A and B are shown apart, each in its own frame.
Chain A
Amino acid sequence: MSAPVTLVTSPANSDRSDSPDHSRLGSKQHSDGGWGLVPVQVRSARFSSFEVDDFETVTGQELEWKHTPVAKLTPLTAGELDGSPLPIEAQEVDGARVEWIDRDDSRIGRAGKPEERASANAWSSFEKALSITVTGEEPVEVLVNRAGLGDAPRAAHTVIIAEHHSRGTVVLQNSGRALLSENVEIVLEEGAQLTVVTVQEWADDAIHLASHFSEVGRDARLKHVVVSLGGSVVRINPSTHLSSEGGDVELFGVYFADTGQHLEQQIFVNHDAPNTKSRVSYKGALQGVGAHTVWVGDVLIRPTAAGTDSYEQNRNLLLTDGTRADSVPNLEIETGDIAGAGHASASGRFDDEQLFYLQARGISEEDARRLVVRGFLSEIVQKIGSPALEARLQDAIEAELLVGEVGR
């Protein structure tokens, strides 16, 4: 039962290699203010453009592509994309508007600017954008169902705006086939409280690249949740600009990679105003040969961001041999006046002591494993705050576990 620990280290966090025992999840917690970390790149200086042709052809050597199987992505990074509106279903609810808007609408471009070629390709290609505006102070939930987008390469653009002091939850629910590159812009006006959840339950061969750009206004609070379970290559990159005082962001993610799946997320938190707060927590489970996950967490604290409070963590549970979890936290701190900045990253096997404890209570090894994994991931699911969605996702995770057991 005492399997060796497979640990994937990255050059960005040499501090992780000093302790060989990562089998106990949670054992590598530290909050050192990040002073010991050398950023692999200066995130603040990254190139951005709306024009796809401003970006070189993707080779896989680039920082933002080096973990990704780029060969599979050529149709999205180099090909022509169908930019017609996606076949979506969305319910109109009181307190929110859902509509298609033209490229020249002023709502577009408030939060985002592409930083890589697939994102720019989508930006150059979309014909109309889906606009979701949360208007009311009573909390509302908007569900956008995107089921079966087909095999042809497509582009999409979505703008989610939470008007000042509004409250709401927007769920992007994805399933079926897809070959999609998209941008999602999220704008929180003053005092807004918005939750955005994107759920990837794509079919096995789907490919999905997404950049989420959020702009968090004064005293506004964004909760952003990425749930990636299905798809061949799924890469969701949420970046947040805390541009006004008192902005608060929580970026959560949960993922479960099976045999051959590539699930990636590159997070960027840009603290650019005083007294802003960020919490990043991503957890993943990996199971089966070739299951590969990537988590990059860039946190930038600019000189303008005195009093920043920031913490990011990523934890991965490697359930079988042949899996690979890349986990790269980066802190770039440009002011000495911060309230806190910490990070934790750990990838390891099951904690044998947890399994022993459960088994010593009569629970079979198989059930004990299931309990531990479900518990591990449900910590994130519980944070969504939408009971029906939480229950459905718990079941979806349970189903992932059962799929793995058949192949064991």
Chain B
Amino acid sequence: MSVLEVKDLRVSVETEQGTKEILKGVDLVVNEGEIHAIMGPNGSGKSTLAYTIAGHPKYHVDGGSITLDGENLLAMTVDARARAGLFLAMQYPVEIPGVAVTNFLRTAKTAIDGVQPSIRTWGKEVTEAMKNLRMDSSFKDRNVNEGFSGGEKKRHEILQLELLKPKFAVLDETDSGLDVDALKIVAEGVNRAKENTGLGLLLITHYTRILRYITPDFVHVFVDGRVAEQGGPELADRLENEGYDRFLADAASPSQA
């Protein structure tokens, strides 16, 4: 069984004012087939955790470890991590001018699998996946994320999740900016991916509403670069009613090491 393990992770970024410590010792274990929701207020370090797992060069790991099935992810390049089975659905997907979606998807699929996808089935698979996500087939010929609306960008992320079939996916605020219909469509896509591949999920979100459609096994409350509390789905309900105030009071103490 696959497992993604984050241990005592400490991460900082270089800012104009000097080094800023963001993650201050994060521990997480995500097993294959599990859904972990990570919830927390703005600026608590959720995206930092997501980017660090994916290997964004901006974030410096000062301590701790991230392993996938015991393998040290931190020693791998960004693309090697993806090929090892990791996927990050980004909070703000990037536009890539002049690169058509079809070309991009085929290139990514080839890179992940190490072989070209079958000409016979790939086209159908893409068409089917797009249909499920209610994406018009004209998106195939458009440039990656260029001129996509916020919701279209998020669907395009889930399209990739379904087609690339990772072992673990980190979804960074995939729900934000979606209306109810789009939220349902995206949630269906995530559930479908899980059903089909049994992947493990780290679902980063600000709000509880997506958890109505995707049921988490565990909920972690993220505050000031740490997991402040964890529990089952009932914790999400509590957050829905109480907000983060209870945790923020605790975190008000000086955070700079």
Contacts and interface: CB of A to CB of B under 8 A. Distances in A.
Interface in B171-206: none
A22 to B, nearest CB: 16
A376 interface: yes
Interface in A331-386: 351-354, 356-365, 367-368, 371-372, 374-379, 382
B111 A374 contact: no
Interface stretch (B4-12, B38-46, B74-82): B74-82
A63 interface: no
Contacts of A356: 56-57, 78, 94
Nearest to B51: A356
Contacts of B160: 361
A4 interface: no
A369 B3 CA distance: 32
Interface residues of B, number: 30
Given A1-B57, A2-B57, A371-B107, A358 B98 contact: no
The 3 closest A-B pairs by CB, nearest first: A375-B98, A362-B111, A361-B108
Interface in A97-138: none
Interface in B220-243: none
Contacts of A362: 79, 82-83, 108, 111-112, 164
Secondary structure class of chain A's binding surface, majority of residues: helix
A379 B98 contact: yes
B54 interface: yes
A373 to B, nearest CB: 9
Contacts of B95: 354
A26 interface: yes
Contacts of A374: 98-99
Interface in B29-78: 54-58, 77-78
Interface in B98-116: 98-99, 103-104, 107-108, 111-112
Interface of B: 54-58, 77-79, 81-83, 87-88, 90, 93-99, 103-104, 107-108, 111-112, 143, 160, 164
Contacts of B77: 359, 365
Contacts, number: 83
Interface of A: 1-2, 25-26, 351-354, 356-365, 367-368, 371-372, 374-379, 382
Given A360-B88, A361-B104, A363-B111, 15 more contacts: A2-B58, A352-B57, A353-B94, A354-B94, A354-B95, A357-B96, A358-B104, A359-B77, A360-B82, A361-B108, A361-B164, A362-B79, A364-B111, A375-B98, A378-B98
B136 to A, nearest CB: 21
B78 to A, nearest CB: 4
A147 B31 CA distance: 64
B79 A365 contact: yes
Given A357-B90, A362-B164, A365-B79, A375 B97 contact: yes
26 contacts: A1-B57, A356-B56, A356-B78, A357-B93, A357-B96, A358-B96, A359-B77, A359-B79, A360-B55, A360-B78, A360-B79, A360-B81, A360-B87, A361-B160, A362-B82, A363-B111, A364-B79, A365-B77, A367-B111, A371-B99, A371-B103, A371-B104, A374-B98, A376-B98, A377-B98, A379-B97
Contacts of B94: 351, 353-354, 356-357
Contact of B107 (A1, A352, A363, A365): A363
A302 to B, nearest CB: 34
B83 A354 contact: no
Contacts of B55: 359-360
